[in-house]
Structure 1
Amino acid sequence: MQTGYVTTPFGRRPAKLALVKGQLAVAASTPGTRVDKWKVFRDVCETREHFGLQDRALAVLDALLTFYPDQLLDAESGLIVFPSNAQLSVRAHGITESTLRRQLAALTDAGLIQRRDSPNGKRYAHRGRDGEIEQAYGFDLSPLLARSAELALLAQDVAAERTRFRRAKEALTICRRDVRKLITAAVEEGAAGNWGHVEMLYSEILVRHPRYPNRNQVEATLDEMGLLRAEVLNILEMQPNTENMIGNAIPNDRHIQNSKTESINEFEPSSEKKRGRNVDEKPHAKSADSAERKTKVDQGKAFPLGLVLRACPQVADYGPGGRVTHWRELMTAAVVVRSMLGVSPSAYEEACIAMGPENAAVAMACILERSNLINSAGGYLRDLTKRWQRGEFSLGPMLMSLLKANGESARHAS
């Protein structure tokens, strides 16, 4: 039976030079090669994306191989199968004829099968007196035999790439977990360092990471996260008395959420008597001490999270999963809001240094609520930061104003 010759397609299908080259390559392949057809099929399944094939194309190829009677593909036995579309559709799990035609064309374009068309385009075979097939017209499986070694190597490369991708994702998960827990431990135990800035860098790395990344994107994010982890470990390594952090209750006090929230007046003292000041002190000494005291009070004790969310409900939409349940998620949402409103990283970093990361996040939430009235969110935040440093601004009145604008009474904020 003739299997190693060049032929053109029947009907309106044009003859392409790539088709001719493929047929010549098959004709020039080493004779005497025998390969397990299902091993070749598994290699094709592994490399499906490389050829741009759909899963239904694999079903059609599987059906074609079932019409080849032997387990081993052997050119000496003839590699042309000639089932009708109806028979192919049944063995390909009942796919429609239009889909069958598309997938057969895809397999041909991928160079995995070849057409051997008859004069009238039908698929059939001529048999001799002994019943042996002398000439057949249909689909030639010779490319699978000729490319079996290539397909095996390509399948190994795909499997190795899949392994590298999986290990890169595992390494990123571990690195991300390390950074997240190290930052949390450092903040909760009062370690010295600009943890608001570190938190901001961590959140920005995650924001840039695609939802469905490839291996290169995962490795790029892993490199950034690895550098951040090294920086966090370097900061923690330079701590003077790491062993005393847990025993010191003062730094941890500002991270305790009290369900019985104090009056907002604690953050906004209105007179020298309420602050317990000596009225005989010099004016400049009073002013400097007042600003320092107010800054320490606001940084040392964040507002209750429930109060912030009632005053600024929009910020919850930008938290992980569209909600904010604790301060870490509020700080993450603030970084997203910062980027959305066009606030520069340097402006937000200055706010974190001056106000503390929690209060800077609250400030961003307030700016979000008033974004329709603010021309430049970045300039507004810088102004708030400067006023905070001079002791001329606190978040209490802004939160109270937003609570009233949202229709809540002052007693709900206390």
Structure 2
Amino acid sequence: MDGGSVTTPFGRRPMTLGMLASQVRAQKIESSASVDKWKIYRALCEAKPLLDISDRALAVLNALLSFYPHGELSAERSLVVFPSNNQLSIRCHGMAEQTVRRHMASLIASGLVLRKDSPNGKRYARKDRQGEIRDAYGFSLAPLLARAEEIARLAAKVAAEKLHLQTIKEQLTLCRRDISKLITAAIAESADGDWWAIDEAFHSILNKLPRVATPHLIASVLAELEEFRAEIVKQLETQIKTENSSANALQNERHIQISESESISESEHPVTNAGDGLTAVNSADLGDNALEGQRLLPGKASITYPITTVTETCPDIALYGPGGSVRTWSDLISASTIVSTMLQIDPSAYHQAVSRMGVQNTAVAIACIFQKGSTIASPGGYLRTLSRRAGEGRFNTWPMLAALRRANISEPAAGPPKPVTQ
């Protein structure tokens, strides 16, 4: 390794105590020490946030390492490289020489490289008769060898922090998904409880996270969401136990009734009074209530929430239902066809939506578009976009309703939108 006393910079460049400390540390390297130059460079790239060095500075260091002829930085060999600024610029993919000098200065200030200036400030090497370098002046890579263990520890710390951040982000994503789908299921199946308020509380917790959050804040929100999820699960488990008890009692009662009257066949249809006699009733004849939670077109995503969810979130469309109200899915579908004309939605756009998402989902989407009013510049284009996403399996009317409900709560509507005139 290059020995000798402490060297000071050439010309007007000042000497600092940091430079002195780096030189002293470099002189204490054990004679048997060595490290793979590209391995230590990769560790430097990982530890970059803790060492406060830039990407461009690392690019200059990469160029410096490329001038070192051996694969390992070894204390048994000279650790000084002496490329010209022009050569460094070429190895840095054409970086301006002034920029190279600036980033070289930052590497020296960070204690990763040392200057070993010649008497006249030039960079060169003298060799002996055997061709071995005797004296070399330029940039010493000895600090990399001296700080190899420290850099490896810093790289491991950064890697551990990244892994921790990735883990809590994954846990946060899973927890958010669990809570969202549990609330959706609870509302769809009319579970006991104010689930709209619970949904609002859930989003108020999520709003604590900015776009760029610290690991500590993410962990804090995650802990709060996990506790929130546990409370939801506990509430739903209580409801399930209650429903199971009721179902068992009902099943036992039905079993007793069947045992007492074996003349009733299980294949018979339910019957209702119709005039003087009894008439079999098919499920298709039960009216609009049979459409609750069912799909109207085969192959389309089914609605899993009651009609009241739509009418409470989108009350404006009720004025255009039969008799000025919407009580059933058929009422909503009738109102949506009227409103689609008022919104100047092209018939082809309407039929495309029906073919891709079903008539019920189309009616819900139009109700939401109508409720948003003037905030949607092109209702027809917006409906086509939703149809395309539905065809790709990336659209569901439930999140649209939930978002609109939250918007209505935070900013109450001023009144029903005015119809669009032709």
Tell me which residue corresponds to 1:377.
Answer: none
Give the superposition deviation at 1:214. Answer: 3.3
**Greater RCO (CA < 8 Å, at least 6 residues apart):** 1
Cα distance between partner residues in 1 of 2:72 and 2:160: 27
Give the superposition deviation at 1:329. Answer: 3.4
Cα distance between partner residues in 2 of 1:208 and 1:314: 30
Provide Cα deviations, 1:352-409, integer angstroms capped at 9, x if missing partner.
Answer: xxxxxxxxx3x65544xx4xxxxxxxxxxxxxxxxxxxxxxxxxxx32xxx22xx537
TM-score by structure 1 length?
0.66
Q: Secondary structure at the match of 2:26?
A: helix
Provide Cα deviations, 1:323-344, integer angstroms capped at 9, x if missing partner.
Answer: 9974533433554x5xxxxxxx
Tell me which residue corresponds to 2:38.
Answer: 38
Tell me which residue corresponds to 1:265.
Answer: 324
1:32 counterpart letter in structure 2: S
* Matched ranges for 1:240-251 at <5 A: 240-241=242-243
Change (3 A) 1:108 1:242: farther
Change (3 A) 1:242 1:236: farther
Alignment of 1:310 with 2:381, yes or no, is no
2:42 counterpart letter in structure 1: R
Cα distance between partner residues in 2 of 1:211 and 1:47: 24
Q: Secondary structure at the match of 1:21?
A: helix
Give the superposition deviation at 1:157. Answer: 1.7
Tell me which residue corresponds to 1:296.
Answer: none
Tell me which residue corresponds to 2:10.
Answer: 10
Alignment of 1:254 with 2:307, yes or no, is yes
Give the superposition deviation at 1:97. Answer: 1.2
Deviates more, 1:135-144 or 1:91-100: 91-100
2:420 counterpart letter in structure 1: E
Give the superposition deviation at 1:123. Answer: 1.0
Change (3 A) 1:108 1:96: same
Alignment of 1:225 with 2:235, yes or no, is no
Q: Secondary structure at the match of 1:219?
A: helix
Does the CA contact (< 8 Å) of 2:364 and 2:397 recur in 1? Answer: no
Does the CA contact (< 8 Å) of 1:6 and 1:20 recur in 2? Answer: yes
Give the superposition deviation at 1:190. Answer: 0.6
Tell me which residue corresponds to 1:332.
Answer: 403
Unaligned runs of 5+ in 2: 248-289, 294-303, 312-316, 328-362, 378-385, 387-394
| RMSD of aligned residue pairs (Cα, Å) | 3.5
Q: Secondary structure at the match of 2:207?
A: helix
Tell me which residue corresponds to 1:350.
Answer: none
Provide Cα deviations, 1:94-129, integer angstroms capped at 9, x if missing partner.
Answer: 222122112212211221111111223221122233
Change (3 A) 1:108 1:333: farther
The count of residues paired between Structure 1 and Structure 2 equals 312
Tell me which residue corresponds to 2:125.
Answer: 125
1:167 counterpart letter in structure 2: T
Provide Cα deviations, 1:143-165, integer angstroms capped at 9, x if missing partner.
Answer: 01111111122222222222111
1:254 counterpart letter in structure 2: I
Tell me which residue corresponds to 2:341.
Answer: none
Change (3 A) 1:97 1:309: same
1:124 counterpart letter in structure 2: Y
* Matched ranges for 1:18-167 at <5 A: 18-167=18-167
Cα distance between partner residues in 1 of 2:90 and 2:52: 24
Unaligned runs of 5+ in 1: 269-302, 318-322, 338-360, 371-397
Cα distance between partner residues in 1 of 2:81 and 2:204: 57
Give the superposition deviation at 1:199. Answer: 0.7
Does the CA contact (< 8 Å) of 1:312 and 1:366 recur in 2? Answer: no
Cα distance between partner residues in 2 of 1:219 and 1:142: 41
Change (3 A) 1:18 1:228: same
Give the superposition deviation at 1:249. Answer: 5.9
Q: Secondary structure at the match of 1:44?
A: helix
Does the CA contact (< 8 Å) of 2:112 and 2:143 recur in 1? Answer: yes
TM-score by structure 2 length?
0.65
Cα distance between partner residues in 2 of 1:8 and 1:243: 87
1:266 counterpart letter in structure 2: S
Does the CA contact (< 8 Å) of 2:73 and 2:145 recur in 1? Answer: yes
1:262 counterpart letter in structure 2: G
